[in-house]
A and B are shown apart, each in its own frame.
Chain A
Amino acid sequence: MRIKSLQVRARVTVEGFLRGLHRSPYHGFSVEFSEYREYTPGDDPRYLDWRLFARSDRYFIKRFEDETNLRCYLVLDTSRSMGYRSAGYSKGEYARTLAATIAYFLSTQRDAVGLLTFEDRITEYLPPRHRPGHLRRLMGLLEREPAGKATDLAGPLEQIAATVRKRGLVILISDLLAPIGTFQKRLGYLRSRGHDVVVLRIVDPAEADFRFETSAMFRDAESGREIYVDPASARAAYLRRFAAHAEQIKQACVDLGIEYESITTDTPLELVLFDLLKARMRRSRRPNRGMGAGRGGGGAR
């Protein structure tokens, strides 16, 4: 994390990875010709093949294989709890780097990447595009510091479900430190809309094992509430509850066929990306209820 620029950081991580993870089920504007189709009113006249018309006096539409229109939504938690760090860097920095890496990676293969940041409400929304300068804007948004006071998981997911009509890939990056509540239900909405959903949970090592020695006033990063905690006596209960919470989330994801990954911030980013891609390739080979991962023949080019 010594590299300041998110874009460079993302590029360094992505270099060396294979390109071309999927094929789009849509036909788009590409160099790779797919088929001709007879013109029907309502088709875009731009794609009329005038040469064929000259030859045959019939209207045909030229169709190309579309590789670039995977719509990926990076849903990033920027609440203040993400600012927690026990060593090195915070969950927020880690999550932003991860998001930047994924965005860069996808944009190198001409996919449209959008960003949605949230805390207790949605703070930023950048629709998925693939345009010059879009990635830079996205990086700019990512570089903002987390400022939110609380985490609300349900709201952003509901918003995506309501606004995004086109099926795509939704990657939720959060510490998921909030009551489960309607979380599962909202994920269900997304799945039912046909989105492919990946949940990446970022966990600080200190949160996972709660290795505090001295008793102190513990201050909640989000609400500012303080309570006196003696770690020696509180540790067991904490670990039990933490594990139960994690299990609940995992179970919810498994039930919905959602890919769930818990990542501690001391894990190298390359490994995370590698695991992610490996898992996606594994998924894309098998029949899937979701459409986002492309057709069965999709794979590394």
Chain B
Amino acid sequence: MSFLAPLYILGGLAIAAPIIFHLIRRTPSGEVPFSSLMFLDPSPPRLSKRSRLDQILLLLLRAAALALLAFAFARPFLRAKAQVEANGETSTRERIALLVDTSASMRRGDLWTRAKALASQLIDEVRPGDAFAVFTFDNGSRTVLGFEESATLDPRQRLEIARTRLNALQPSWASTQLGQALVDVVTAINDVVDAGERGGNVPRRVILIGDLQQGSRTDALGEFEWPSDVVLDLKPVADDGSNAGIHGLADAPGVAADPEAETSLRVRVSNDYGTRDSFTLTWAGEEGIPLKGETPTPAYVPPGESRVIRVPRPKGTQARADAFSKRSPRLVLGGDQRDFDNTLYLAEKSREEATVLYLGSDADDKIDDPNGLLYYVRRAFVDTPRRRVKVVAQAPASAVNWPPNTPPALVIVAGEVGSPNAARLRDYVQQGGTLLNVLNAPGKVETSATVAGVPPWTTTEARVGRDVILGEIAFDHPLFAPFAAPQFNDFTKIHFWKYRKLDPAKLGEGARVLAKFEKGDPAIIEKSAGKGRLLVMASGWSPADSQLARSSKFAPLLTSLSEGNGGTPLVEGNLVIGDRVPLPASGVDPSKPRVIRKPDGTRVTLASAETTFAGTDQPGLYVLETSAGDRPFAVNLDPLESRVAPLHVETLEQLGCRLAKPTREQAPDPEQLRQLQNSELEGRQKYWRWLVLAAIAFLIAETWLSGRLSSTRSTTRTAHAEAMAS
């Protein structure tokens, strides 16, 4: 048995105290008040001359408690036992987490090869007694070999497994969330419970292998308190750091359309670091082959700066969005050494031309009659940078026609159009069109019947007292979903003076009432037919019928109807790797699964409940296949990933990371080493806890015993006093 602090044994001398106290005869039987002590001197305590000790048991208990305390403070430990446990291996064990950067910037040059070689070398240095795990990170951290799995494996085997798994990895295209990754790994290294350590103080080390670029996001470390016992060991693999990147610029929302947007495109070229300053921007097609006939656009960007460059769109795609998208174009930055971030993918973003066809009796002569319906339809559609809507009006009886492949986005029918037109409209709806039939007068309904494929029926004018409002609205339907929020869902200010009685049963199977009047009569009924849909309104928006046209709901309703067919880009702005892409709710057939085509050709089937797509793991053009057609979107690299200049180590230190000392420490003094071993052994065995517990137990026994003794003494004394009194 050895002691960590043998001097504390001297505390055992305190045993003498209770013995001396026992021997002192001074047993003051309480307190005697006296008028004045002016004639008295304190009597010195006298040692008992008796050779016999009173209360031997009490004395022994007190002495034992003191001796145990002194013994505990001396921190005893068993060397022999510890040596058996150590089993010959060196005592300084470590817990090591290897963290490898797999972000897109690791793709440049031979960084990844070097990183793997460095990782392999570090794995070789792991000793059998160490706890060891491997993690990788880009915009999230992943466990390659966890502590728990590593603990179950044979020491040699686990190193081999770690090496194999690391070799199989490739850098991704994602950005570098260095801060979050460090937080995750430190949490993992602290969470692990190693039975062999018994809570002892094991050094913990996080080894970070990566390019440590300036574009790493470290903000997560700001709120994280770095534990004092975890050391961050940086193993940077870096090249000269020169790089240039290209990034698309989003159109600022709300700003009027860029007048040159149809013919050219604005991109930002940033030159992070290095000696080059002249670059070229070239349009390329699939596989990065430059498009024929396109001249490269020169760009001059001094090192450390970025410039916005206007690049003309490729020939033949200007002003034609579909043509642009079909060629799957990309803009390639030439003149840069590192090509991982030199390609900008673009989905078409040019303005969409949509047509709304209005068939109504007020279309011809009374062009601008505010008492008709058309007057309001013309004013409901506003041109946006994304979309321009043209309203075409014609008399109901005149034959409807439109150019092939460009059907109108919405057809509004007010009145009966005759059977040839009705058949034409039926085909339009079957192929995915939207038809809104406004019943602005009672009578026989033939157009809607033809489109819906049901026999014609007759409507009658409903009896309305003073006015009527909408009572029940299906806010779960895409048409009304934008109004579902409480600040928008007040429809009570829209009064209807007249409406026609509608029976949803007349429209056949699958007709759904989207809105009802307060009396319960249907106001709007929707019926799907083929790929498209038919909506029938029981009342119009002319002032004679209702106030609908003058309410704030009118324009959004019509816009929503006309946009139902899709053809617009999914999102505004630029998407980067790892972004969640919001999926449109409108124009989607819930019964059919949605499929996203990735740039490498793989197809991802989405569950119908999903509202976002999270699988953007490579740059390129993604295509969402919907029933209404393909909707492409481009995903590019995170612009920060282009900033590959090395991160200053001080930045990490400022964020609270404890960095390992760069130089190897001197071999420790053998005496110091022995002391360290001793303290570790003692820390593992912790006999002092049991000794302190025993001392407490002795003290409890002592308290109980002395309490009992004094109570029996006082009872005998009282009994004696009573006997004397009687």
Chain A residues with a Cβ under 8 A of chain B = 81-82, 84, 91, 175, 177-179, 204, 207, 212, 214-223, 225-230, 233-234, 237-238, 241-242, 245
In the bound assembly, the distance between CA atoms of A222 and B651 in angstroms comes to 73
In the bound assembly, the distance between CA atoms of A227 and B33 in angstroms comes to 11
**A residues less than 8 Å from B38 (CB atoms):** 177-179, 241
**Is A245 a contact of B43 with CB atoms below 8 Å?**
no
**B residues less than 8 Å from A214 (CB atoms):** 29
**Is A219 a contact of B32 with CB atoms below 8 Å?**
yes
In the bound assembly, the distance between CA atoms of A237 and B43 in angstroms comes to 11
Tell me the minimal C-beta distance from A146 to chain B in angstroms: 11
User: A230-B43, A234-B43, A237-B41 given as contacts; is B31 within 8 A of A91 (CB)?
Assistant: no
**Is B36 a contact of A222 with CB atoms below 8 Å?**
yes
**Is B37 a contact of A228 with CB atoms below 8 Å?**
no
Chain B residues with a Cβ under 8 A of chain A = 26-43, 45-46
**Is A228 a contact of B35 with CB atoms below 8 Å?**
no
**Is B35 a contact of A84 with CB atoms below 8 Å?**
yes
User: A228-B43, A228-B45, A241-B39 given as contacts; is B34 within 8 A of A219 (CB)?
Assistant: yes
**A residues less than 8 Å from B42 (CB atoms):** 227-229
**B residues less than 8 Å from A223 (CB atoms):** 37
**Is A242 a contact of B39 with CB atoms below 8 Å?**
yes
In the bound assembly, the distance between CA atoms of A230 and B28 in angstroms comes to 9
**Is B39 a contact of A217 with CB atoms below 8 Å?**
no
User: A214-B29, A217-B28 given as contacts; is B35 within 8 A of A229 (CB)?
Assistant: no
**Is B35 a contact of A216 with CB atoms below 8 Å?**
no
A230 to chain B: closest residue by CB: B43
**B residues less than 8 Å from A215 (CB atoms):** 26-29, 43
In the bound assembly, the distance between CA atoms of A218 and B31 in angstroms comes to 6
**A residues less than 8 Å from B36 (CB atoms):** 81, 177, 220-222
**Is B35 a contact of A221 with CB atoms below 8 Å?**
yes
CB-contact partner of A227 in B27, B37, B46, under 8 A: B37
**Is A216 a contact of B39 with CB atoms below 8 Å?**
no
**Is B30 a contact of A227 with CB atoms below 8 Å?**
no
Tell me the minimal C-beta distance from A203 to chain B in angstroms: 9
**A residues less than 8 Å from B45 (CB atoms):** 228
**Is B43 a contact of A233 with CB atoms below 8 Å?**
yes
In the bound assembly, the distance between CA atoms of A30 and B220 in angstroms comes to 109
**Is B37 a contact of A218 with CB atoms below 8 Å?**
yes
In the bound assembly, the distance between CA atoms of A180 and B33 in angstroms comes to 23
Tell me the minimal C-beta distance from A179 to chain B in angstroms: 7
**B residues less than 8 Å from A204 (CB atoms):** 35
Query: What are 17 sample pairs from A and B whose C-beta atoms fall under 8 A apart?
Result: A81-B36, A175-B35, A177-B38, A215-B28, A215-B29, A216-B28, A216-B32, A217-B31, A217-B32, A219-B31, A226-B31, A227-B42, A229-B42, A230-B46, A234-B40, A238-B39, A241-B38
**B residues less than 8 Å from A219 (CB atoms):** 31-34
In the bound assembly, the distance between CA atoms of A228 and B31 in angstroms comes to 9
Tell me the minimal C-beta distance from B38 to chain A in angstroms: 6
In the bound assembly, the distance between CA atoms of A215 and B26 in angstroms comes to 8
In the bound assembly, the distance between CA atoms of A228 and B29 in angstroms comes to 11
In the bound assembly, the distance between CA atoms of A238 and B43 in angstroms comes to 12
In the bound assembly, the distance between CA atoms of A218 and B32 in angstroms comes to 5
User: A215-B26, A228-B28 given as contacts; is B37 within 8 A of A220 (CB)?
Assistant: yes
5 further A-B pairs in the complex, CB-CB below 8 A; given A219-B32, A227-B40: A91-B35, A204-B35, A212-B32, A218-B31, A237-B41
**Is B39 a contact of A218 with CB atoms below 8 Å?**
no
CB-contact partner of A177 in B28, B33, B35, under 8 A: B35
In the bound assembly, the distance between CA atoms of A227 and B42 in angstroms comes to 5
CB-contact partner of A216 in B30, B37, B41, B46, under 8 A: B30
Tell me the minimal C-beta distance from A83 to chain B in angstroms: 8
In the bound assembly, the distance between CA atoms of A218 and B36 in angstroms comes to 9
**Is A221 a contact of B33 with CB atoms below 8 Å?**
yes
- 4 A-B pairs with the lowest CB-CB distances in the bound complex, closest first: A84-B35, A230-B43, A227-B42, A81-B35
**B residues less than 8 Å from A227 (CB atoms):** 37, 40-42
**A residues less than 8 Å from B40 (CB atoms):** 218, 227, 229, 234, 237-238
Tell me the minimal C-beta distance from A87 to chain B in angstroms: 14
In the bound assembly, the distance between CA atoms of A178 and B32 in angstroms comes to 20
In the bound assembly, the distance between CA atoms of A178 and B37 in angstroms comes to 10
Tell me the minimal C-beta distance from A159 to chain B in angstroms: 23
B25 to chain A: closest residue by CB: A215
**B residues less than 8 Å from A91 (CB atoms):** 35
In the bound assembly, the distance between CA atoms of A178 and B39 in angstroms comes to 10
B36 to chain A: closest residue by CB: A177
B26 to chain A: closest residue by CB: A228
Tell me the minimal C-beta distance from A297 to chain B in angstroms: 43
**A residues less than 8 Å from B34 (CB atoms):** 84, 218-221
**Is A245 a contact of B28 with CB atoms below 8 Å?**
no
Q: Which one of A220, A233, A241 has the greatest number of beta carbons of chain B within 10 Å?
A: A220
B39 to chain A: closest residue by CB: A241
In the bound assembly, the distance between CA atoms of A215 and B35 in angstroms comes to 17
Tell me the minimal C-beta distance from A59 to chain B in angstroms: 61
Tell me the minimal C-beta distance from B717 to chain A in angstroms: 12
In the bound assembly, the distance between CA atoms of A233 and B46 in angstroms comes to 11
**B residues less than 8 Å from A175 (CB atoms):** 35
**Is A207 a contact of B35 with CB atoms below 8 Å?**
yes
Q: Which one of B30, B34, B45 has the greatest number of beta carbons of chain A within 10 Å?
A: B34
In the bound assembly, the distance between CA atoms of A225 and B40 in angstroms comes to 12
Tell me the minimal C-beta distance from A56 to chain B in angstroms: 67
**B residues less than 8 Å from A221 (CB atoms):** 33-36
In the bound assembly, the distance between CA atoms of A70 and B32 in angstroms comes to 44
Tell me the minimal C-beta distance from B32 to chain A in angstroms: 5
Tell me the minimal C-beta distance from B720 to chain A in angstroms: 14
**A residues less than 8 Å from B28 (CB atoms):** 215-217, 228
**Is A225 a contact of B37 with CB atoms below 8 Å?**
yes
B32 to chain A: closest residue by CB: A216
**A residues less than 8 Å from B35 (CB atoms):** 81-82, 84, 91, 175, 177, 204, 207, 221-222
**B residues less than 8 Å from A222 (CB atoms):** 35-36
**B residues less than 8 Å from A82 (CB atoms):** 35
In the bound assembly, the distance between CA atoms of A219 and B46 in angstroms comes to 20
A245 to chain B: closest residue by CB: B39
Q: Which one of A91, A177, A245 has the greatest number of beta carbons of chain B within 10 Å?
A: A177
Tell me the minimal C-beta distance from A221 to chain B in angstroms: 5
Tell me the minimal C-beta distance from A55 to chain B in angstroms: 68
Tell me the minimal C-beta distance from B192 to chain A in angstroms: 62
B38 to chain A: closest residue by CB: A177
Tell me the minimal C-beta distance from A94 to chain B in angstroms: 13
**Is B33 a contact of A216 with CB atoms below 8 Å?**
no
A219 to chain B: closest residue by CB: B33
**B residues less than 8 Å from A241 (CB atoms):** 38-39
**B residues less than 8 Å from A233 (CB atoms):** 43
